[in-house]
Structure 1
Amino acid sequence: MINYRSLTDIVYDYISEQIRNKALKAGEKINENVICDALKISRTPVREALIQLSKEGYIEQIPRRGFVVCEVTLERANNIYKIIGTLEALAVTDCLEQGKILDLDAMRQLAHQMDEAIDQKNYDLYYNLQNRFHSTFIEASDNEDLIRILGSLKKIFIKQSYNPTDSEELYQEALRMTNEEHWKILELFEAGDAAALRRFVRDVHWNVKYADMEIVI
């Protein structure tokens, strides 16, 4: 079955990319006419995409001014990390305590691929693999509300990729440490230690020290 993207989806991705590439900066008003002209479309899908982005926290609708790009501050990123850590800890607990079927082989393969992506300096691939690793146990929880809320929270980090901002060597080391934590999560899943896994995911893997990697500067 072919999945066709709507005009609203196309506009959504276009605006997101403009924010990631810093063509649209925090505090800047989004010109709907410019987007219409660039994509050769009417205002309706543009307005629908803007409303969706506003609901998800990327932009803000200000009376008499229109839509403005929001800044994800370090304080906000820290707060979101704490919430995500708590919710993912619930997901891993559900998987173990309720005997959910979890594809540990798939998680192991993803961890290997992340190691390779770091070696190849392919940070976009690493980001995608990391999302798949987490999605494996989040979706296995079978908690639809938890899955939806986590998805919405993670979308706030519109960056959706990793790029070194300082020393690439230090950046790679940070990613290696993060992937070592993925291996530890896998180890704890295999051991069936729900309490240790819950603490590790919440207090170590989603420690706020990583939050600055998510910010569009």
Structure 2
Amino acid sequence: MQAPKYQSLKDHVYDYIAQKIQDGTLLPNQKINEAEICKKLDISRTPTREALFQLSSDNLLDYIPRRGFIVKPFDSKEKLNASQIIGALDALAATLAADNLTDQDIKEMEAIVDKIQNDISQFEFSDYYKDQYKFHNVYIRQCDNPNVIEMLDSLKNSFIRQSYLSKDNNKLALVLNEVNTEHRQIIEYFKTKDKEKLEAILKYHWRIIDNEML
């Protein structure tokens, strides 16, 4: 697997491991197999180690001397803390972006919401996770505030312990359908440039999907 053009080898490894955590392939407390990653990505040990230490710095992994790197457990209080900050920053990004969104941006979000609906109906929850991030990134990239964008990227990386995994696919689908209805409402608020409602819905939108809901 070759790194995408213009992406450093370290970033390629970082994104690969982060995605495996996001989609539930790598679980909390699971040890990272460095040799396997090097072989899979056809990358030497140096950029792999650099990526692992960066993931540790970003709170996705824990480094344990003589044992190596493990996927960091993420407790409920940490989830709550992260969700509250993400909600506030995402709401800020949306209000900043409201006057900058183009008709093409709106169409792109509408297309993603339709794709998300298909993800849910097919129980493709890892695809759902990626597509809902794409949805939010449409307007976040238009907020014209690099600091907000950088902080959101970092926080969302640490928030990925809230992967959309459940033993009851039908119940999870019901919850995510509710969330996707909120995506459609967000689009309507962008169309009317209703910043007050955008702020309110996005602060709520990033709530924790916990075991009681699933």
Q: Give the TM bin, normalised by the shorter chain.
A: 0.7 to 0.9
Match in the other structure for 2:125 = 123
Match of 2:127, as an amino acid?
A: L
CA distance in 2, matches of 1:117, 1:36: 31
Q: Tell me the TM-score normalized by structure 2.
A: 0.80
Is the contact made by 1:117 and 1:123 (CA closer than 8 Å) also made in structure 2?
A: yes
Q: Closer, same or farther in 2 for the Cα pair 1:32/1:3, shift >3 Å? A: closer
Residues 65-94 of structure 1: per-residue CA shift (max 9 Å, x gap)? 654431111221111110100001101111
- Given candidates 133, 136, 140, the residue that maps to 2:135 is 133
Instruction: Please provide the CA RMSD for this pair.
Output: 3.0
Match of 2:146, as an amino acid?
A: E
CA distance in 2, matches of 1:18, 1:115: 23
CA distance in 1, matches of 2:101, 2:12: 36
Q: Tell me the TM-score normalized by structure 1.
A: 0.79
Task: Tell me by how many angstroms 1:199 deviates.
Answer: 1.1
Residues 50-73 of structure 1: per-residue CA shift (max 9 Å, x gap)? 111112111133567654431111
Is the contact made by 2:83 and 2:159 (CA closer than 8 Å) also made in structure 1?
A: no
Question: Which runs of 5 or more structure 1 residues have no equivalent in the other structure?
Answer: none
Residues 168-213 of structure 1: per-residue CA shift (max 9 Å, x gap)? 11111011000001011111112221112111111x21223x2669
Match in the other structure for 2:25 = 21
CA distance in 1, matches of 2:94, 2:88: 10
Match of 1:109, as an amino acid?
A: A
Is the contact made by 1:78 and 1:211 (CA closer than 8 Å) also made in structure 2?
A: no
Q: What percent identity do the matched residue pairs reach?
A: 39
Bigger-Rg structure (1/2): 1
* Equivalent residues in 2 for 1:100-179, closer than 5 Å: 100-102=100-102, 103-158=105-160, 162-163=164-165, 165-179=166-180
Is the contact made by 1:74 and 1:212 (CA closer than 8 Å) also made in structure 2?
A: no
Residues 114-152 of structure 1: per-residue CA shift (max 9 Å, x gap)? 122222222232222211110011111011111111111
Aligned length: 205
Q: Closer, same or farther in 2 for the Cα pair 1:107/1:41, shift >3 Å? A: closer
State the SS of the aligned residue for 2:187: helix
Task: Tell me by how many angstroms 1:4 deviates.
Answer: 5.6
